[in-house]
Structure 1
Amino acid sequence: MSLDHEFYLISKTTDIKNFWMYRERNNSVIDSVVIQDDLIQYIIDSLEWIPSKNPSLQGTPSGHGINYHGVTLFDNHSSETLISIFSSWKSLIKNAPDKFELTGEFVYGDADNQEGDYKKLVFNRDEVITQFEKIILMSEALTKGEFYLYHCGI
């Protein structure tokens, strides 16, 4: 089973406290994209630079990065950094072969092989670029101040 992170472009008039519970059938969704958890984990350090808010906490406090296991809200203050980071990753990945491999987390071996090894992550270049382009387009919409980008973690 693959773990995913979901990103939704929604109107600022949307109930952000309960959106995650009704996102599947919510008329407020303007656009969305799903990114595999392995890819998010690979780029997560750079995502920590993005201004964000936590809609699950009282007062929706400001912070940075994504709430990995929960929800995250990005607004017009996040847009420039979102665009820059995902554009940079997109430019880098454009140089990859059609199917490319990244080094994932370290996985310890079983009883027969105690040494372990790093997980090999395989991606389709064009699919990743398409996902990143969608995040960029949704982030550009944030600049108008009328929308949120709502992230649902694993």
Structure 2
Amino acid sequence: MNKKSNKKVLAHNLLMFSVLVGLFFLVGCQQNTDDKANSDAVVHYEYLSLDEDYTEEINNWLSEARRNKDEELYHLSLDNGEEYVYGKGYNKGKVRYTYEEFDGKNHSSIKATLLKGESTDEVFIRITSNKEVDSITLDMTDDATQFYN
């Protein structure tokens, strides 16, 4: 091999080495998004059985809501941060957490949306959050496409 060829090979190898070192540096400096703190959901909800026994406060509230013929949506907020939603004539629910900053103030809210079902359907949901929430909004829809989007 001649000197010119050796210099090209050396320059190529040096360039490849620099690129690899740069990639390792960039990958090493990336924020770890799999962190436990980042992977915890801010809001959690679960469907509850209507046949279970709960605390006296929840049982009384649920019994009253199920007996009432005038309203369809009910909400109970407990001091421990748990929220309960019951809907008559609804068969599914979803929950969304929103955090906004406007006018120099922070505002966090939870929105529970229930999907209209048959008149005999009932849905009972417990909502918990690992953040303090300023407001809870109940929403309803009979449009499944809107519900799932």
Please say whether Structure 1 and Structure 2 have the same fold, judged by a TM-score greater than 0.5: no
TM-score bracket for the superposition, by shorter chain length: under 0.3
> What is the TM-score with the length of structure 1 in the denominator?
0.24
User: Which structure has more strand as a fraction of its residues?
Assistant: 2
Pair member with larger Rg: 2
